[in-house]
A and B are shown apart, each in its own frame.
Chain A
Amino acid sequence: MLTSFEPSSARGEALDRGMRNRLADSVDYLGTSVGEAIGIDPADVARLTASLRAARQSPHAFGAYYELVLALEQDDLDEARRLFDELLSQAPFPRLRIASIENRPQPEVERYRRMFLDAPELAAEPGPALLKDCRDRIAAAFALLDAGFPQMAEEIRALLVEIIIAAGPDDPKALTFDGASHYMLWGATLLNARGQATVLDTAQALAHESGHNLLFGHCASGSLADNADDELFASPLRADPRPMDGIIHAAYVIARMHQTLNRLLAAGVLDAEQTAAARADLAAHERNFRAGDGVIRGGARLTELGDGVLAGARDYMAAAVAA
C-alpha cells in the first residue's frame, strides 16, 4: 500500500514511475498544443516522452517542464523554445548521483539555487575538504542504513536520483538550512555540508529529505489538506509560520526520522556514542511530532489522502511511544 508508513523500494519505484508518466502525458499535451507554434518536431516530442516513461530522469527534466509552462503562460516564446530544447536534451539518469552544487552546467546550478532556497546565496560551493567530509558521511550513512534499516536505504535510493551538496553559512548566527527539497525538482535533495555533524545525523537527514519527496509523489494528484495557502500555523521545525501542508510535511518527516533511529537501535548497529545520541534525538522527535500533530489536529482540513498518510505516521508514533 503506497501510503503505508513502512518504507520500501517498490513504493519508491512506483511513485517515480507515476511522476514520470504524468510528466510524459503533459509534455505530450504541450507538444500537441503548442509544439508547432514554437517549432518543435513531433518526432522529438515522441522520442522524449518515450524516454520519460522508460527510465529515471534528472530532476531538471521536471524543473525545465515547470519553467516551460510558466514561460508559455507569459507568452515568452523564445524562453519556451529554449526550455523545450533543454527538455529534449535530457538523457535518462539511471543511478543516484552525489555531487556538489556547482558540479553541473551553469543553468542547472542557478535553477537548483533559486528553486531550493528563498535566498540562493545560502547554498555556496563547498571547499574540497568540506565536500569530502560530507560525501564520506553520506556513504557511511547509507552503509549504516543498509546494515540496520535496509528498507529505508532502498526506498531512499528509489526516491532520490541526486543528492546535491552545498555549504551553508559558517556564521552560527546566520539564517541557514540543513536540507531542502522541492516538488518541482522530483528526485533531488539539497544537503548542507555543515548541516550534519555525524553519520547518524546524515542518516536522519536522508530519511527526512526523502520523506519530503515521498509526500510530493503522493500529492501528484491531490493535496494533503484543503486549508488555504495563506492560513499559517506554527511549525515544530521552523521559526517561520507555515501553511498547513508544511506542518504535515514536518510532522511526517519527524516520524520518519524517529522510525529510522528506532530501527537502527533495535538492529544493534549503533556504537555507544551513537546510541546515546539516538536516544536523545528520539525524545526530541517525540516532542516535535506531538507539537506538530497538535497543530494539525487543531487546524487541518485533511483530505482523504492526507488522512491516510498521517494515519500511518500517527499509528507508528503511538506504537513506538507505547513500546
Chain B
Amino acid sequence: MTKRPLSAQLDWNNLFGFEQVAGDRDAIRREISGRLGAKVGNKVGNKVGAKIGTKAGVKA
C-alpha cells in the first residue's frame, strides 16, 4: 500500500486564504516547486494577493 502524501490529504477549500485560489492549486504548486524557503511567501503572495489583497506601497 502506498501512503498518500500529506499534501493530498489537505483540501484547500477548508483552509483560510487558500480556499479562494483552490482552483489554481496545481499552477501554484508548480510555481512554488523547489522554492520553499526564502521566496515562497512572495511567490504565492503575489498569486493569491491578486485575488484577495496585495502588497502596496512600493513606488518607482
Contacts and interface: CB of A to CB of B under 8 A. Distances in A.
Contact of A183 (B7, B52, B60): B52
A181 B56 contact: yes
A73 B49 contact: no
A99 to B, nearest CB: 19
Contacts of B48: 183
Contacts of A117: 55, 58
Interface in B3-48: 5-7, 9-10, 14-18, 20, 25, 28-29, 32-33, 36, 38-42, 44-45, 47-48
Contacts of B6: 34, 37-38, 72, 75, 77, 80
Given A69-B10, A73-B29, A117-B58, A184 B52 contact: no
Contacts, number: 153
A40 to B, nearest CB: 12
A242 B39 CA distance: 20
Given A75-B5, A79-B36, A115 B41 contact: yes
Interface of B: 5-7, 9-10, 14-18, 20, 25, 28-29, 32-33, 36, 38-42, 44-45, 47-60
Interface residues of A, number: 64
Interface stretch (A151-159, A233-241, A291-299): A233-241
A223 to B, nearest CB: 5
A114 B55 contact: no
Interface string A204-222: 0000010010011001101
B39 A249 contact: no
Contact of B53 (A63, A114, A245): A245
Contacts of B33: 74
B56 A183 contact: no
A41 B16 CA distance: 22
Which of B25, B38, B47 lies at the interface centre, i.e. has the most chain A CB atoms within 10 A of its CB?
B38
13 contacts: A23-B16, A34-B9, A66-B41, A69-B18, A70-B32, A73-B32, A75-B7, A181-B55, A222-B52, A245-B53, A246-B54, A246-B56, A249-B53
